[in-house]
Each structure stands twice: as C-alpha cells, then as structure tokens.
Amino acid sequence: MEAHNGLSARIVEGAGFQGIWASGLAISAAMGVRDNNEASWTQVLDVLEFMSDATSIPILLDGDTGYGNFNNARRLVKKLEQRQIAGVCIEDKLFPKTNSFINGEAQPLADIDEFCGKIKAMKDTQQDEDFTVVARVEALIAGWGLDEALERAEAYRQAGADAILIHSKKVNIAEIEDFMKAWNGRHPVIVVPTKYYTTPAQRFHELGISTVIWANHNLRASIEAMQRITQKIFCEKSLIDVESRVATIDEVFLLQQADELQTAEEKYLPCSGKLTGDRP
C-alpha cells in the first residue's frame, strides 16, 4: 500500500498491510513537484528516513530509473540499506523519467544490456541478503508489445532481479493475463492495478501474481479530503460544521505516538518538585 511520508506510512502499517510502496508519484506530489525526478534522490531519501523511522514493516522504494546509471543505482542501494529500506524497484526508462500514465508511448526505454548491468551492480552492492531489487518492465506502457515485455523480463531475471514488475495502463487485465500465461511462473511478478482497478483480487491470485501494489490511494484520498475541508472553511469561515468531519487532535497525537514521550519523560526527566526540593 502506498505511503508518501512518515504519517501515511504509519497509517498503512496500522491498517495491517505487510509492506509499504514508497511511491515516486505520491512522494513527489506531496512535495508539490512533478513525477519527473524534480525532487532529487537525496530529498527522496530524507522522506524515506522518516517513513522508515515511523514503521517496522518492509518498505519498497519506487526508485524510478535508479537516478542515473549503474553507479548511481548502486550508491542508492547502499544509502537505502543504511536506512533499513527493504528493497527498491527500478524501471527500464531513461533519467529523467515521466510517469507511465503521461504519454507512455512517447517514452524511450532503456537499453536491455545497460539495464541488466544496473541490476547486477545493485545486487552486487547489497550487504543484507534480504534486500530486494525489483525490475520494472515498461514495454507494455510504451506500446512495444508482449514479446518485448517477455524478452526484457527474462533478461532482468537472469541479471539477478528478485522480482519482475509488469506495468500496464490498460483498463482491463487482458495484457497482464497474456504476460502471466507466457511467463509461466518463472519468477515472482508484481502488478500495479491503478488503471485496471475493477479486477477482483481473486483474479491476481488465480494468475499467480505475487504482490499487488495499490500505488497512490493514500495520496489521492488526502487530496480529496484536504480540498473538501479547505473549501468548506474558506466558504463558511467557521469550524462549526467541520470539527466532526476531520480526524480528532487526539488521533494526531496517537499517530505521533505522543504517549511514548510521556512515558519516557517520566523515566528520564527529573521531576520538577524534586529539583526545587533538592536546592538548599
């Protein structure tokens, strides 16, 4: 499930999800910039650090193209491991990338050998054997067809990717079904059903898909909620009809784990009475 900052990451964990998708679209949108690598990779790392500190479940970073060539990508792995990020997904496009749903056909794909070198460099760099590198195939998005998608997925599997993310912008699951049938269970597959959202989860199970990413729904939920409340307060210049429609302040404190600080203060701070009492 998507998260884009410490708060949303904590909400995802609280709901019971087993993993977090640190979405490039959502993180950049939350910063008020486009999904075109306008936020620098170290700015993304800073956000991830808050997400990692706030949670204990695995975080998979949407690492775009790896922010450069193999050298940038392997340095990314080193920095992610230092922040206890569980894995990273890289996509076979060119830096600076554009979101797959914006004019996908016009976007050039990476050279297969160059992308395989990037995957190998990342796998060679990881220190933790559980760190995961996911290779995202954009051939269907770019309109290059099923054969190209299969060739790329197989090359990335052989290069050492731990899973393949096959992306589609079709409103039905047909091309994902075709891919899964031809792929025939060779390696774990991840999907992102943002556009084919009407597909029941059971169908993903039947096709043998390992992981489903709900990629941007916390971002979109928050946009809708913020626009509604901001507009209401602007129009009414009053909070009378607003209070019951927003989270309570106590809920904010709960998500910040304010109670932990109170307990720690009792343990570590000298009580003020004792301080003054000790003085002659």
What is the set of active-site residues? 35
Which stretch in 21-29, 154-162, 227-235, 240-248 sits in contact with ligand SPV by CB under 6 A? 21-29
d(CA 93, CA 104): 10
Q: Which residues here bind Mg ion, judged by CB under 5 A?
A: 24-25, 62
Determine, following the binding rule CB under 6 A, whether residue 107 of this chain makes contact with ligand SPV: no
Does residue 108 have a cis peptide bond before it, meaning omega lies within 30 degrees of 0? Answer: no
d(CA 233, CA 248): 16
| Cα 131–chain centre separation | 15
Which stretch in 10-18, 22-30, 154-162, 221-229 sits in contact with ligand SPV by CB under 6 A? 22-30
Residue with tokens 């993903």: 204
What distances in angstroms separate CA 275 from CA 197, 267, 271, 279, one per listed residue?
61, 15, 6, 7
CB 196 within 8 A of CB 171: yes
216 contact, one of Mg ion, ligand SPV, none, CB 5-8 Å limit per kind: ligand SPV
| Cα 213–chain centre separation | 9
By CB under 6 A, name the one of 194, 199, 218, 222 that touches ligand SPV.
Answer: 194
Residues facing residue 93 across a β-bridge: 109
Q: How far is the CB of 198 from ligand SPV (least distance, A)?
A: 16
Q: Which of 116/215 has CB closer to ligand SPV?
A: 215
Q: How far is the CB of 188 from Mg ion (least distance, A)?
A: 19
14: its two tokens: 């609280």
53-92 residues near ligand SPV, rule: CB under 6 A: 62
Determine, following the binding rule CB under 6 A, whether residue 23 of this chain makes contact with ligand SPV: yes
Residue with tokens 């050039």: 108
215 contact, one of ligand SPV, Mg ion, none, CB 5-8 Å limit per kind: ligand SPV
Where along the sequence are the contacts to ligand SPV (CB under 6 A)? Answer: 23-25, 62, 99-100, 192, 194, 215-216
